[in-house]
Amino acid sequence: MTEATTATTQTKTAKHAGPPFGLPNYEIPKIDLAKMEVPPAFRELAAKGVAQARDTYEKAKAATEKATDQLKDTYTTAAKGATDYNLKVIEIARTNTNTAFDNARELLGTKSLSEFVALSNAHARKQLEAMTAQTKALAEIAQKVATEIAANDWRLGK
């Protein structure tokens, strides 16, 4: 019985002629593309596809350039507006600091409590008026920048 099993196993292994590991070696047929003829309908379809792709590319490129120009103008306007706004804030801070020191100097020179209270009230009133004017000036700068940005968007949008 051992001889019969061994003979069967040897017969089965003898049938495999390829390498024991790896993929079988299949050959890919060689096609000469230069001799192949493409039907005119396919050529026309391919030409239309290429033309449509070029047209889409040109439209996308024009839209991208327009958006880029709009962003440049918007950021330029916003940067200039932010600079103007910040300069105004610095000017307001300087003015308020000088006013506070002037008020402190005046208060140190008072002779009575009633004079001190009168000067404090006058300073508070002036500061309230100044703060109102300063807030209005900052709001005008912000409004101007917003208007310029909107005008640029409208102008470039057409």
Summarize pLDDT for 72-112 with one digit per residue, the tens.
Answer: 888 998 999 999 999 999 999 999 999 999 999 999 999 99
Q: Report how far residue 129's alpha carbon sits from residue 147's, in angstroms, rounded to the nearest whole number.
A: 27
Query: How confident is the model over 119-132, as pLDDT tens digits?
Result: 999 999 999 999 99
- CA–CA separation, 149 vs 157, rounded Å? 12
pTM greater than the 0.75 cutoff: no
CB 149 within 8 A of CB 70: no
Q: Amino acid letter at 99?
A: T
In this predicted structure, what is the pLDDT of residue 141? 95
Task: Specify the pLDDT at position 156.
Answer: 58
**pLDDT at residue 34 is higher than 70:** no
Residue 121 has a CB neighbour count (10 Å cut-off) of 10
pLDDT band at 22 (very low <50, low <70, confident <90, very high): low
d(CA 73, CA 31): 57
- In contact, 141 and 78? CB cutoff 8 Å: no
**Domain ranges for the chain:** 41-157
